[in-house]
């Protein structure tokens, strides 16, 4: 069954119209496509009116807006996370100012949130700490993501690069070791990183592999 659209002057299927109880047939006079086009044209021509109307609705219906936002986020979590990460990357100063404002407003709540985040993201916390140490030593820092580190672990089959001990037999997890130490001119990049057990990492310290291996063999 079809109906005549008064906007595009064409016959459209009934499913192509919105419902309107005030009309005798219960449908709008314009088809969905024409209604959407009219809305786009109106919104682009009246941005200030649209913002004012949206602001009034949010102020008058905070619970509805909050419920809608939560529902939308649950359905589009990945999309929103990617959008937020891109915005944070493009506006680092703004992110820092927001974080400082949140901490000033409720320090206890912010500290709890920070502690929970660090507990849930130990790899990211360790990576941030390494980057901070590298920058304090004024060395070149290239991004090393969690995926990059896991690729390095896969390359070494989750074994220590020096003693070749598998991770499941170690008392602690494998750590990042700079083949060329940062204090010796090394770069914090995935090409200069290997997995090492805590014992080998501490024993090697600031030495080059060529300086450390002969000492190990001698002992």
CATH number at 163 reads 1.10.30.50
Predicted pLDDT at 177: 92
Output the DSSP codes for 139-189: --B----HHHHHHHHHHTTTB-TTT--BGGGSSS--EEEESS-GGGT--BS
Domain for residue 105, yes or no? Answer: no
Print pLDDT tens along the chain (219 aa): 889 999 999 999 989 999 998 888 899 999 999 999 999 999 999 999 999 999 999 999 999 999 999 999 889 988 888 899 899 889 989 998 988 998 898 899 888 988 998 998 887 888 888 788 888 878 888 888 888 988 999 999 999 999 899 988 876 788 899 999 988 888 889 999 999 998 999 999 999 998 887 666 555
Domain for residue 162, yes or no? Answer: yes
Q: Which two tokens stand for residue 145?
A: 């993501």
Predicted pLDDT at 192: 93
Domain for residue 54, yes or no? Answer: no
* Spatial separation of the C-alpha atoms in residues 155 and 112, rounded to whole Å: 37
* Spatial separation of the C-alpha atoms in residues 137 and 133, rounded to whole Å: 7
Predicted pLDDT at 94: 92
Domain for residue 179, yes or no? Answer: yes
Domain for residue 198, yes or no? Answer: yes
Range of the domain at 150: 142-218
Nearest residue to 188 via CA among 123, 143, 136, 122: 143
Domain for residue 35, yes or no? Answer: no
- Report the domain count for the chain: 1
* Spatial separation of the C-alpha atoms in residues 46 and 44, rounded to whole Å: 6
Nearest residue to 161 via CA among 172, 176, 140: 176
Predicted pLDDT at 173: 80
Predicted pLDDT at 155: 94
Predicted pLDDT at 32: 93
Output the DSSP codes for 30-96: EEHHHHHHHHHHHHHH-HHHHHHHHHHHHHH-HHHHHHHHHHHHHHSHHHHHHHHHHHHHH-HHHHH
Q: Which two tokens stand for residue 31?
A: 């088809």
Domain for residue 2, yes or no? Answer: no
Domain for residue 199, yes or no? Answer: yes
Predicted pLDDT at 216: 60
């Amino acid at each position: 069954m079809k109906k005549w659209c008064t906007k595009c002057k064409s016959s459209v299927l009934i499913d192509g119209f919105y419902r309107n109880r005030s009309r005798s047939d219960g449908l709008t006079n314009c088809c969905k496509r024409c209604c959407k086009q009219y809305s786009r044209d109106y919104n682009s021509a009246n941005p200030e009116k649209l913002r004012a109307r949206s602001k009034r609705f949010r102020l008058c219906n905070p619970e509805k807006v909050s419920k809608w936002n939560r529902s939308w986020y649950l359905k589009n979590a990945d999309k929103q996370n990617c959008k937020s990460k891109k915005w944070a990357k493009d506006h680092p100063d703004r992110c820092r100012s927001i974080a400082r404002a949140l901490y000033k407003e409720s320090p206890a709540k912010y500290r709890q949130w920070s502690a929970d985040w660090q507990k849930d993201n130990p790899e990211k916390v360790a990576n941030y700490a390494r980057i901070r140490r590298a920058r304090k030593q004024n060395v070149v820092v290239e991004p090393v993501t969690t995926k990059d580190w896991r690729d390095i672990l896969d390359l070494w089959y989750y074994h220590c690069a020096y003693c070749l001990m598998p991770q499941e037999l170690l008392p602690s997890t494998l750590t990042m070791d700079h083949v060329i130490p940062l204090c010796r001119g090394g770069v914090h990049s995935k090409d200069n990183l290997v997995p090492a057990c805590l014992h080998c990492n501490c024993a090697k310290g600031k030495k080059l592999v060529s300086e450390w291996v002969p000492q190990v063999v001698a002992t």
